[in-house]
Amino acid sequence: LGDDRHAKKAKMQFAGAKVLSLNATRWHNQAVPQTSSAHCRKSQLWLNNEWYQISDIATKLIDRDDKEGRLSPLEREAYLHELIFWAVSEIESLKPEAIVLAEAAHSTQQYVLQAVARVMGVKVLHFVSWPILPGLELRASGEGPREIVDQSSASRTIFLASAFAEVDAYLKKFTYGGYGFEPRYMKLQSGADHAGEGWLKSSRVRRIFSKLSLLSAKYRKRATAHKALIHAQSMMGKTQSFGTKPYVYFPLHYEPERTTTPDGATYRDQLKSLALLRSLVPDEVEIVVKEHPSTLNHRMLGHLGRHPRHYKALTRIAGLCLLPSTTPSNQLLSGCVAVATITGTAAVEGAMLGKPALYFGNPWYQDCPNTLRYDNKLTWENILESSSSSPEHIRRWLAATLTSHVIPGTVNPSNEKYFSSWYTNDTFRAAEFEAIFNTLKKVLLQQDIANNQKQKWTESK
């Protein structure tokens, strides 16, 4: 079940496999794949404590797919339940021992399938990518632990040597003050090279047509939404004062994106997380919020993740200051008393600077020294006391995590562009394939052994 660009190759490589289209379900009236009717024998699916969170995240993903706002709330609700019944039927019919995802599911169909499977007792695994180097961890879905990866190959030893060098180069930036780390995907999004030759040509054509007032209604709607976002943020920002009080820095995530939905889990809603943060932070401490640069990029889909009223809602939180996306991150990081984010890399940057860093979701750096996962029992004192580790402690943690849990690789062809220097020949790609294959084999065989033992125990009872 994946992007149609891979469908032909999948059918060739996995003869006899059922290959399902995401695009057909995403774009063509939200059609659900044909399957037999669901018996719904697993009552825990409907009574599970996760049910609200599953339906909430799935609804948000439907919003992402429905780019033109064609679906009414009633139709969304019916479509979601149709998808759930489809997923139940697939699990009942196929009885899978495991479901494997390239990354945390962030299309509606994939998310519903894996969420239903997990509640019905199926092991769900997905890869988590590191933004500072081409490395992958395999984790159980949700807040599951990191899997211990296969460490037997010579190619992985070569990868680790290069990965350690990459980590040291990243950390060295903090020594010399150049710590405003900008993930590669943001550089590509903000640069003209992200557009590509085809987009640049089409943009010139659109500019001509805009002068002739012949733009499509769809493009006009998108352009208008982006202008409204930019105007709303600039107007809100004009009324904000900054720098007179100690503050917590909270950089907003670009939406719609996996980093909040589903990686934010219960706390995917940034307004909700900011309200929770405000309840923790003393009145004399401000919360400084900066918009993500990609949200206002006219080539991106930020208008699907923000409404102009979002900024008005933000500024109704007491002691919150909204700053424009152009404000330098390193300036805000160096001056803050703490950092907070859903899953953003700003937490690692803050940790390296000795700042307490609070995260709400399931990031790649979870358990890193000087970082702390949000819990409703936390106090402000707990947060301030969480930053006692030195940069050397963080370096050792990164090295240990790489050694035990990280294999070479990226989650999709788009990510390969961010690490193009690693893919100059087939050597890294071969190491990537070997590592992923061996790790999955190791983990899934362990699952198979566990299932057999469970079945024998049940039969003996």
Going by C-alpha positions, the residue among 294, 247, 254, 246 that lies closest to residue 270 is 254
Q: Does residue 350 carry a pLDDT above 90?
A: yes
What is the enclosing helix (H) or strand (E) of 124? strand 123-129
Q: How confident is residue 72, by pLDDT bands cut at 50, 70 and 90?
A: confident
Q: Name the pairing type of β-strands 357-359 and 371-373.
A: parallel
Contact 236, 322 (CB under 8 A): yes
CA-to-CA distance for 301 and 299, rounded, in angstroms?
7
Both tokens assigned to 98: 């495991």
User: Which is more confident, 143 or 306?
Assistant: 306
Question: How far from chain centre, in Å, is Cα 317?
Answer: 25
Q: How confident is residue 352, by pLDDT bands cut at 50, 70 and 90?
A: very high
Question: How confident is the model over 27-38, as a mean pLDDT?
Answer: 72
What digits encode the pLDDT tens for the residues 252-281? 999 988 899 999 988 999 999 999 999 999
Contact 137, 404 (CB under 8 A): no
User: In sequence order, which residues have a C-beta less than 8 Å from that of residue 14 and are 6 or more positions away?
Assistant: none
Both tokens assigned to 415: 């990510």
The pLDDT, as a whole number, for residue 197 is 47
What digits encode the pLDDT tens for the residues 208-239? 555 544 456 667 777 788 788 888 877 776 55
The pLDDT, as a whole number, for residue 386 is 87
What digits encode the pLDDT tens for the residues 293-332? 888 887 788 888 888 899 889 889 999 999 888 888 888 9
Residues present in the chain in total: 461
- Mean pLDDT for the chain overall: 83
Identify the structural domains of the chain with CATH numbers, from first to last. 4-149+429-460 (no CATH), 180-192+221-404 (3.40.50)
The pLDDT, as a whole number, for residue 227 is 83
Both tokens assigned to 407: 């294999």
Query: What is the DSSP code string of 168-211?
Result: HHHHHHHHTT------HHHHHHHSGGGTHHHHHHHHHHHHHHHH
Which of helix, strand or coil describes residue 34?
Answer: coil
